[in-house]
Amino acid sequence: MEQAPARPAHPTRAYAALALGLLGMGFSGIFVSLADAPGAVAGFYRMAIASAVLAPLFVRGWLTQAHPGRREIAIALLGGLFFAGDLFFWNTGILISGATNPTLMGNTAPIWVGLGAILFFGERPGRLFWLGLLVAMLGAAVILGVDALNDVGLGTLFGIFSGMFYAGYFLVVQRSRQKLNTLTAFWLSSAGSAVILWLMTRLLGQPLTGYSTFTYLNFLGLGLVVHVGGQMAVAYALGYLPASTVSPILLLHPVVTGLLAVPFLGEALTVVQALGGGVVLAGIYLVLRSRQPR
């Protein structure tokens, strides 16, 4: 199996992939809002469509290249489990207490990534990394509403669990990309996540059929634009950049979504949201400075 390439000193392509990934992922909230379907159902179609589209490329690579070992397959599937857990807790938290608190707490993922990188990868982020992370988190809090911090409940707790699972996904994908190429690691993770999300829809009694053509078109957008175009670009970047760098950059996700919501959903971008976006950018700049060799 083709190995992930060695990390270059200046991974320009990886940062370009992150920019593309952010744009694709920014459409996630747009498509979910327009689809107006249960969260687990939308998540299943997102993963299933992406897996189906990429299946021919995966099969061709499987037939023409050396097969990965069972351990590497298991690690990639574990990434799918973490991603499904993230969606499950995030969607359940929203059902309990609305979108703001779970989304805000889900943005604690970079904290858990930083801690996980210390525990499992032996990374030692410096003070500038943690300062930048704190600034970026504050910016995300401004965007999503600081008042949400005053309302702590079960939905907020589920949001924290969502952040932990999303962090686990980043760390597992980083580990998986050390041995597997982007397509193999991404497809195995996505297919595993699709199976788990299908089981969740069965347990929650959420129907998979009977939706309008418009809803199915938005499911298609989730699978192609958000997951193949967005999340796969992030998986590529994780082969060149540490998860502790990628995850804070992805805090720009709500900024991109807010900008896209102006033309697509008719939502106005407020001064507070613009200020929060600037704070997020400042935090990311500090994080990137901390990762540069001295």
pLDDT in tens, 121-180: 787 878 888 898 888 888 877 776 655 555 556 777 888 888 899 889 888 877 777 788
CA angle 83, 86, 90 (to 5 degrees): 150
Question: What gap in Å lies between CA 65 and CA 7, rounded to an integer?
Answer: 22
Q: How far is CA 86 from CA 90, 104, 151, 277, in A?
A: 6, 13, 21, 24
Model pLDDT, residue 77: 92
CA neighbor of 27 nearest in space, from 218, 215, 276, 238:
218
Model pLDDT, residue 292: 62
CB atoms within 10 A of CB 58: 17
Question: What gap in Å lies between CA 82 and CA 109, rounded to an integer?
Answer: 12
Q: Position of tokens 């397959």?
A: 73
Q: How far is CA 50 from CA 68, 249, 284, in A?
A: 21, 24, 29
Q: How confident is the model at residue 111 (pLDDT cuts 50, 70, 90)?
A: confident
The pTM score is 0.79
Question: What gap in Å lies between CA 257 and CA 246, rounded to an integer?
Answer: 18
Q: How far is CA 180 from CA 230, 235, 276, in A?
A: 19, 11, 37
Residues in CB range of 250: below 8 A, 6 or more apart: 18, 21, 22, 25, 234
Structure tokens at 239: 């082969």
* 110 and 137 Cβ atoms separated by less than 8 Å: yes
Residues in CB range of 12: below 8 A, 6 or more apart: none
**6 vs 63, higher pLDDT:** 63
Model pLDDT, residue 6: 47
- Average pLDDT for residues 52-74, to the nearest whole number? 89
Q: How confident is the model at residue 228 (pLDDT cuts 50, 70, 90)?
A: very high
Least confident of 78-92, 231-245, 262-276: 262-276
CA neighbor of 110 nearest in space, from 154, 185, 168:
168
Model pLDDT, residue 120: 81
The distance from CA 215 to its chain's CA centroid, rounded to whole angstroms, is: 22
